[in-house]
Amino acid sequence: MQPFKAIHEALRDKAADKLCAHLRTLGIDAQLLRRHPLLRVGTIKGMGIKRKSLGLVQVTGKNFGYVNLIRGRERHPLAEHSHTEYYLEYLVPLRETPSSLCRAVLVTKKRGLFRREVADIEWGGGTLADRLNGDLSLKDSLLMEFRLTRPLDIVVAPEPVYRCARIETSGVTQQRLLRRPALRLPSGSLFDCLDRIAGLIPGHVTEVNNRPEEVLLEVKVEVNPGSRDAEVANCYVTDRHVRIESKEPLQIPLYVVEDCQVDLTVPSYGVTMAEASRSMANSVVRLRYQDESGRRRKVEFGMLAYDAGTLKHTLFHSYPYGITR
């Protein structure tokens, strides 16, 4: 087994080791972890895209606790070569579950005809973006950083399953498959800017979670359609939950919903048109989600076809990081 381990060690991507060593040179207490649940944050596989963690660096004494190094490869069906890029994800552990409002995307505004320089920056997204736009000192620091070096794409996104938020920065792209892209290591000034962004996230999450839930959709559903126990109940989709107020009420957090499937129904043989018209279930909605123990569950209920389509649209657009489609 020793020769195989030596070959694996010689061939493996050592970018995470370089990242950990670089953070230590900046005076940061950093330790490389090979096994940790947060290694799965940001990983994707399928549809021609593969994003894999090369290592998780634990950071002490900062507003974020970990830096996850992701190597992404994307191959377009019509492209000759793969598209490879490094991503650094700064993970902020949270005591509360973040909502979809914990999302912000940095947009740079450039000027100049030939030498495009960053003239201004602005955060877009939810209420977190408003808080980031209000920090003028952070804005000045990022503008100074981007004028000295190449601007980065910065995205703040919630990870409710892991109860954390991630600050993602893109790295260096290499189009040709035979040449490895070089990892762009963060400077000390950029690291400080990202740490300041991380410091604003916990307070924002607490503020949002203390607000009353916003109702995005209110519709009627039919529980146990077509049976003697059929019951019409109110269904609410809020910015945090799906609630069905039946005799046995059900409340599902949005971030655990995995899929919403809508099937049209036809009256079964022997059912009269009068009986069919009394039922509002001309479509069946199936919600698949995970419970607190991680087990996959399914709930079915009947709805009008139009309302079912509206429900599915609301779910897929109200919490893009909760539903996997």
For the chain, what are the domain ranges?
Answer: 2-209, 215-318
Asked whether the predicted pLDDT for residue 51 surpasses 70, the reply is: yes
pLDDT of residue 46: 60
- Residue 175's contacts (CB-CB under 8 Å, 6 or more residues apart) are 81, 83
The candidate with the shortest Cα–Cα distance to 102, out of 156, 162, 154, 169, is 156
Strand partners, 318: none
Dump pLDDT digits (tens) for 202-248.
999 999 889 898 899 999 998 887 777 788 899 999 888 899 998 88
Please indicate whether residue 183 or residue 301 has the higher confidence score (pLDDT). Answer: 301
pLDDT of residue 203: 93
> What CA–CA distance (Å, rounded) separates 20 from 18?
5
Q: Is residue 128 helix, strand or coil?
A: helix
Cα angle value 19/20/21 (rounded, 5°)? 90
> What CA–CA distance (Å, rounded) separates 183 from 67?
14
Q: Mean per-residue pLDDT for 306-318?
A: 84
Across the chain, mean pLDDT equals 80
Residue 215 near residue 206, CB atoms below 8 Å = no
pLDDT of residue 63: 92
> What CA–CA distance (Å, rounded) separates 54 from 33?
10
pLDDT confidence bin for 194, thresholds 50/70/90: very high
The structural architecture, per CATH, of the domain 215-318 is Roll (2.30)
What the block records as the tokens of 251 is 């409340």
> What CA–CA distance (Å, rounded) separates 108 from 149?
13
> What CA–CA distance (Å, rounded) separates 320 from 158?
10
pLDDT of residue 138: 93
Dump pLDDT digits (tens) for 119-133.
888 998 878 999 999
Longest dimension (CA), the chain: 78
pLDDT confidence bin for 41, thresholds 50/70/90: confident
pTM of the model: 0.78
Instruction: Give burial (CB, 10 Å; 0-12/13-18/19+) of 295.
Output: exposed
Q: Mean per-residue pLDDT for 47-61?
A: 82
Dump pLDDT digits (tens) for 242-282.
999 988 899 988 888 888 888 877 655 555 544 544 555 67
pLDDT confidence bin for 39, thresholds 50/70/90: confident
Q: Tell me which H or E stretch contains 301.
A: strand 296-303
The candidate with the shortest Cα–Cα distance to 260, out of 236, 239, 233, 242, is 242
Q: Mean per-residue pLDDT for 33-48?
A: 76
pLDDT of residue 324: 41
